């Protein structure tokens, strides 16, 4: 009886020490890219995903936009998002996510202004170099002009004292009808994050 | 003396068992609640799956509503905190077409929300495109 108990105890202690040892070894693992990430207080992947979801859901369900996109797929161009925070944030990554989601909804089409120089170079090669068959060359001056422009701001307010650091982000996105200059849609997403120092200041 | 030794051993066995139990429980904390809605199918229109009883006692999903906006399925659900304490959870929508294939799989991320004691909030989502016929909302503790 005593032997049996001893062997159970031995088994348990080996399992527990294995668990403890496992916790000490550093290892690399693949994680869910959509998981909530709270490593630091800085702008992170969860913030980017939250902003994109909110903005795309909002623009696609806004009644006047729904009315416009019901019959046709208007052409849009996305301007840069102005980063007014004190952090270095890749705002192009935010607009990329937003425009990809809007494009894949099938409600809008996009023109990419960041590639205008490359497109001009390629069209010049096709039409002026004499190396491309005229029947297959893409014609200059037949691109479709954008009807709408999307642009916005990302700003932040950071406050801290000895124990707490609080960051508030506000992302504003607007959709302008280029010809009339009217803002057809606008929305904001607010995010607040707070870090409290633990008892031992870690 | 012998009796004292046995009770000592029992004590250690209990401690080890609880350490193991905590380790096992923490491994299960990723599962949570799942609300599934198929608005067009009257038989399985709405149902709720509970994968985590402990979380289901604290958080509940109710009032599952849908509508079509410009050909896109729009979903609204209510998340309620049943406890008097603040509770942090995260949720994620998944979208499925007529053949139950996931649409735009892995695009929606987990969204963190903080619920005050006994607070209810509405959680809304818009389907990524017009082919979506059913949805799933996963809720888990943070």
* ipTM reported for the complex, 2 dp: 0.78
Q: How many residues are listed for chain A in this entry?
A: 202
Nearest by CB to residue B125, choosing from A49, A57, A104, is A57
Residues of B in contact with A60 (CB under 8 A): 69-70, 72, 126
Structure tokens at A129: 């170099």
How near does any CA of chain B get to the CA of A93, in Å? 14
Phi, psi of A22 (to 5 degrees): -60, -40
Percent of chain B residues past pLDDT 90, beyond the cut: 60
Question: Nearest chain A Cα to B20, which residue?
Answer: A16
Partner-chain contact A12 B16, CB within 8 Å: yes
In whole angstroms, what is the distance from residue B134 CA to residue B99 CA?
Answer: 10
In whole angstroms, what is the distance from residue A40 CA to residue A143 CA?
Answer: 45
Nearest by CB to residue B110, choosing from A5, A35, A70, is A35
Query: Of A10-14, B23-27, B87-91, which gets the smallest average pLDDT?
Result: B23-27
* Spatial contact of B75 and B37, defined as CB atoms under 8 Å apart: yes
Q: Which residues contact A49 (CB under 8 A, 6 or more apart)?
A: A34, A97, B108, B109, B111
Helix axes A45-61, A91-104, angle to 10 degrees: 40
In whole angstroms, what is the distance from residue B32 CA to residue B16 CA?
Answer: 27
pLDDT of residue A52 exceeding 70, the answer is: yes
Instruction: Tell me what the mean pLDDT of segment A117-142 comes to.
Output: 94
What per-residue confidence (pLDDT) applies to A14?
78
pLDDT of residue A202 exceeding 70, the answer is: no
Instruction: Tell me what the mean pLDDT of segment B116-131 comes to.
Output: 94
| Positive or negative: CA dihedral A117, A118, A119, A121 | positive
Say whether residue B11 is in contact with chain A using an 8 A CB cutoff: no
pLDDT in tens, A63-86: 999 999 999 999 999 998 999 999
Partner-chain contact B69 A61, CB within 8 Å: yes
Phi, psi of A146 (to 5 degrees): -70, 140
pLDDT tier at B22, thresholds 50, 70, 90: very low
Closest among A45, A167, A56, A88 to B112, alpha carbons compared: A45
pLDDT tier at A167, thresholds 50, 70, 90: very high
Q: What's the predicted TM-score (pTM) here? A: 0.80
What per-residue confidence (pLDDT) applies to A5?
74
Fold adopted by A41-134+144-196: Rossmann fold (3.40.50)
Question: Nearest chain B Cα to A54, which residue?
Answer: B125
How near does any CA of chain A get to the CA of B124, in Å? 9
Q: Say whether A123 sits in a helix, a strand or coil.
A: helix
């Amino acid at each position: 009886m005593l032997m049996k108990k001893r062997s159970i105890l031995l088994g348990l202690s080996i399992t527990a020490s294995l668990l403890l040892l496992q916790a000490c070894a550093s290892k690399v693992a693949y994680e869910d890219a959509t998981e909530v990430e709270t490593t630091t207080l800085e702008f992170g992947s969860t913030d980017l995903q939250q902003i994109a979801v909110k903005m795309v859901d909002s623009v696609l369900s806004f009644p006047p936009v729904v009315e416009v996109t019901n019959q046709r797929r208007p052409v849009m161009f996305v301007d840069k998002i102005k980063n007014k925070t004190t952090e270095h944030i890749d705002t192009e990554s935010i607009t990329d996510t937003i425009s990809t989601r809007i494009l894949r909804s099938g409600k809008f089409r996009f023109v990419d202004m960041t590639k205008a120089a490359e497109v001009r170079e390629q069209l010049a090669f096709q039409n002026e170099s004499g190396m491309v068959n005229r029947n297959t060359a893409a014609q200059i001056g037949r691109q479709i002009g954008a009807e709408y422009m999307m642009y916005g701001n990302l700003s932040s307010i950071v406050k801290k004292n000895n124990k707490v650091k609080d960051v508030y982000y506000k992302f504003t996105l607007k959709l302008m009808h280029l010809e009339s200059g009217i803002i057809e849609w606008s929305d904001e997403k607010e995010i607040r994050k707070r870090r409290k120092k633990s008892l031992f200041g870690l | 003396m012998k009796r004292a030794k046995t009770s000592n051993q029992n004590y250690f066995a209990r401690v080890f068992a609880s350490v193991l139990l905590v380790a096992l429980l923490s491994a299960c904390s990723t599962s949570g609640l799942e609300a599934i809605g198929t608005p067009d199918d009257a038989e399985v229109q709405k149902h709720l799956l509970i994968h985590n009883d402990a979380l289901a006692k604290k958080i509940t999903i109710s009032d599952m509503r849908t509508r079509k906006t410009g050909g896109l399925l729009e979903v609204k659900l209510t998340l309620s905190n049943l406890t008097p304490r603040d509770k942090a959870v995260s949720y994620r929508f998944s979208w499925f077409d007529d053949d139950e294939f996931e649409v735009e799989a892995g695009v929606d991320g987990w969204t963190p929300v903080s619920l005050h004691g006994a607070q209810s909030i509405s959680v809304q989502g818009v389907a990524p495109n017009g082919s979506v016929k059913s949805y799933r909302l996963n809720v888990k503790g943070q």
